[in-house]
Amino acid sequence: MNSTRKLRLLFAVLAAAAANIDICGGLFTDRVFNVVGYGATPDGRSDSAGAFYKAWGEACAADCGWFRGVRVRARVLIPQGTFLVGPVSFRGPCRSPMVVQVKGVVRAPTNLGAFHHQEWIAFRHVNDLLVTGLGTFDGQGRSVWPYKHGNGLPPTLKLLHVTNAKIRAISLINAKFFHVIIGQSRGVTVLGVKITAPADSPNTDGIHIGDSSEIRITRSSIATGDDCISVGPGSSNVTIDKVHCGPGHGISVGSLGKYSTDTGVAGIRVLNCTLAGTTNGVRIKTWRDSPAITASNMLFSDIVMKEVSNPIIIDQEYCPNSCDEDKPGSRVNINNVRFQNIRGSSATDVAINLMCSAAIPCDYITLENIDLRPLPPSPGLAPAIPLSTCEHVGLHSRAVGFVFPPPCF
């Protein structure tokens, strides 16, 4: 280091001291709050929730100041080892940008009596958050899946009222319920995340988004027993790109319209994704007797399907269990949807299924450059003939370029 640079560094340190600024551990590093220093035990048996709370509380309260116009961050470190952690809710707002660095394994209790609010790890009202570190959140869902408790189970990671956040380079395995929920949030990026659960695990959606905007999920791998990604009511400006999905139920917009309070979705983009062995490919699903809401401006482009059972599907009679067939049709207005540059193989005869609502037909649907081929036939059987099926598709819908199977409108 030359003398000029040394002097500049010295003056910066003296200036910070003179201004009574807490620079949280140095000019070039975050201040680290190691959970072990607050009593966490990496033995996989002792509940370390209290220590996690304490570490977060001190880090959140620390004013780490500025250096050369950049906020210095407070970092909660979860080091190597296995930490059994009961439910924790990390709350803001915090005085500095927050980092949660997970190097070890954070493991959920198997006893459902430990969960009183249907959540495990939650972040609330936090601005400028990074969760990273190559570590793993293990929901230990195998302990509860056989009993199928339904929606009463806790998800692994929940972000509520969070802005300007990134979840990067972590793994989530075997959630009891959904792996990640993003709700009432804005400006969240999920990057380089790996989510894994068995194909027969119930309700283990990879990532669910609701009532949120400016969300991006990219360069991630998701294998679950339910939707890899589900975009729920109230979501806008959501981009999903370079995601590998499978096994699972595909990438879904919806379900929409189950509740009278549901709101619409807009600006959904699913790009450059691969779906392998999933029960659905790209799907829009809405309930009967829904509120009158809109699902519009959606693009599904440059997608590879590998042995997918329902590669392209709009289902406006979605009902996973028992249904009342006498209920009115869905009033979700689906319009301005483009399925573009989608290729690969369909594991069923119906490769394109557009089952829209008789109450409000979907319209301005575009199929462009689609090539979905049947799987090779079993010995002695004739090859399958893939089909497109349509119900209540509006007159402004169209096919552009090569489309196989041939369009049904």
Tell me which residues are annotated as active site.
249
407 preceded by a cis bond (ω within 30 of 0): no
**Buried (b) or exposed (e) across 336-346, using 16+ Cβ within 10 A?**
bbbbbbbebbb
- Name the one residue in this structure whose structure tokens are 């924790």: 88
Other CB atoms within 10 A of residue 272 CB:
15
Distance separating alpha carbons of residues 121 and 140, to the nearest angstrom: 13
Q: Find where tokens 């200036």 sit.
A: 15
Q: Is 1 exposed, middle or buried (0-12, 13-18, 19+ CB in 10 A)?
A: exposed
Q: Which of 112, 212, 229 is nearest to 163 (CA)?
A: 212
Contact between 76 and 104 under an 8 Å Cβ cutoff? The reply is no
Residue 346 neighbours by CB under 8 Å, 6+ apart: 305, 308, 309, 310, 311, 372, 373, 374, 375, 386
Burial of 319 (0-12, 13-18, 19+ CB in 10 A): middle
Q: Is the dihedral of CA 36, 39, 43, 46 positive or negative?
A: negative
Would you give the distance in Å from CA 208 to the centre of its chain? 5
Q: What is the sign, positive or negative, of the torsion defined by CA atoms of 53, 58, 61, 62? A: negative
